[in-house]
């Protein structure tokens, strides 16, 4: 393999503000807020601050699944947090000190509770409503194992393969090969599991599927980074079956729309405050109302 970097690390790393390619303007090596900016608060028990990236979709799908299952107490306001510096506002950092979406404030109890990291949010909601989390020890352990597997594996797909394949300012063969190999191994792990069970935890649809589908389901369908052909995703037949099955769920279709700012206007619901917003507040409806 050719040496296409010719980079010798210095003894002590220093931050180059130009590094990071497409995301250079919003990345920095320190935490904390950069400016004062309070978050809006709606009238529902749950206040979600997010964007419809795979990590954000996990949570909006979970809320829509809870509501579809009859859990009226899961009503939520979903506020849009563009990843353009808004995630460093004081209010958002107060909910998630890591400055990443999604972040949730649970206001259903006597005192507001902050919950950050998508895995923690899904587990918090599943336990609160007794839904999409098996109670029997065996299936519960299987579900939680796959939940933790996704939280450990997705960074290879997003920050690893996705960054070097799609976003890095230069194509580095070693980095792309390294992460492509790992993503294909992970797809094989999923494919083998889904060849022996309908869902990740077994016969039951759970938070393990909800959290994994936005990343690996989208990749299996060639919808992430235009990398499907590169990774031969068509080879993972069981993952594709599972991805298609979940994609047909009405709650999943709704959850994908929330906080979405790209794609066809009829699929974009920038903010969600009522169930009726899906019929009246998508970007195509807003544009039509503005021209009427």
103 backbone φψ class: left, alpha, beta (φ>0; ψ -120 to 50): beta
Q: Is residue 202 part of a domain?
A: yes
Q: What is the per-residue pLDDT for 203? A: 97
Q: Is residue 128 part of a domain?
A: no
Least reliable range by pLDDT among 16-30, 162-176, 226-240, 277-291: 16-30
Q: What is the per-residue pLDDT for 291? A: 86
Band (5; pLDDT cuts 50, 70, 90): low
Q: Is residue 1 part of a domain?
A: no
Residue 72 has a CB neighbour count (10 Å cut-off) of 8
pLDDT above 80 (res 258): yes
Q: What is the per-residue pLDDT for 178? A: 97
CA distance 118 to 114: 12
**pLDDT > 90 in the chain, percent:** 86
Q: Is residue 146 part of a domain?
A: yes
Average pLDDT score over the chain: 94
What average pLDDT score do residues 268-273 get?
98
Q: What is the CATH number of the domain that holds 236?
A: 1.20.1050.10
pTM of the model: 0.95
Contact yes or no for 50/78 (Cβ under 8 A): yes
Range list of β-strands (E), the chain: 46-50, 76-80, 103-106, 113-116
Domain containing 235 equals 137-249
**pLDDT > 70 in the chain, percent:** 96
Band (117; pLDDT cuts 50, 70, 90): very high
Q: Is residue 38 part of a domain?
A: no
CA distance 103 to 40: 13
Q: What is the per-residue pLDDT for 85? A: 82
pLDDT above 90 (res 190): yes
pLDDT tens, 10-49?
999 998 876 666 766 678 899 999 999 999 999 999 999 9
Q: Is residue 72 part of a domain?
A: no
Least reliable range by pLDDT among 5-9, 95-99, 268-272: 5-9
Q: Is residue 130 part of a domain?
A: no
Q: Give the total number of structural domains in the chain.
A: 1
To the nearest 10°, report the CA torsion of 125, 147, 57, 129.
Answer: -20
pLDDT tens, 62-74?
999 999 999 999 9
The helices-and-strands tally (H runs, E runs) of the chain is 12, 4
3-class SS of residue 203: coil
In b/e form, how buried is each residue of 104-124, taking b as 16+ CB within 10 angstroms?
Answer: bbbbeeeeeeebbbbbebbbb
């Amino acid at each position: 393999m050719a040496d296409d970097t010719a980079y010798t690390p210095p003894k002590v790393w220093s931050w180059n503000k130009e590094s990071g390619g497409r995301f250079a303007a919003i990345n920095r090596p320190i935490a904390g807020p950069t400016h004062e900016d309070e978050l809006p608060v709606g009238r529902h028990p749950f206040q979600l601050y997010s964007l419809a990236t795979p990590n954000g979709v996990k949570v909006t799908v979970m809320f829509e699944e809870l509501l579809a299952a009859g859990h009226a107490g899961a009503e939520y306001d979903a506020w849009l947090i563009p990843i353009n510096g808004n995630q460093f506002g004081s209010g958002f950092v107060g909910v998630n000190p890591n400055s990443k979406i999604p972040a949730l404030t649970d206001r259903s109890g006597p005192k507001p509770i902050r919950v950050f990291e998508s895995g923690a949010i899904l587990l918090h909601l599943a336990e609160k409503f007794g839904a999409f989390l098996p109670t029997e020890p065996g299936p519960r352990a299987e579900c939680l194992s796959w939940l933790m597997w996704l939280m450990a594996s997705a960074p290879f797909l997003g920050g690893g393969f996705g960054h070097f394949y799609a976003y890095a300012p230069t194509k580095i063969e070693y980095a792309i090969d390294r992460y492509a190999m790992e993503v294909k191994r992970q797809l094989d792990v999923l494919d083998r599991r889904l060849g022996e069970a309908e869902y990740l935890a077994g016969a039951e649809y759970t938070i393990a599927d909800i959290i994994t589908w936005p990343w690996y389901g989208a990749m299996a369908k060639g919808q992430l980074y235009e990398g499907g052909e590169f990774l031969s995703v068509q080879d993972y037949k069981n993952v594709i079956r599972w991805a298609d099955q979940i994609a047909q769920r009405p709650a999943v279709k709704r959850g994908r729309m929330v906080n979405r700012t790209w794609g066809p206007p009829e699929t974009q619901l920038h903010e969600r405050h009522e169930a009726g917003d899906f019929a009246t507040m998508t970007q195509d409806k807003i544009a039509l109302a503005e021209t009427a």
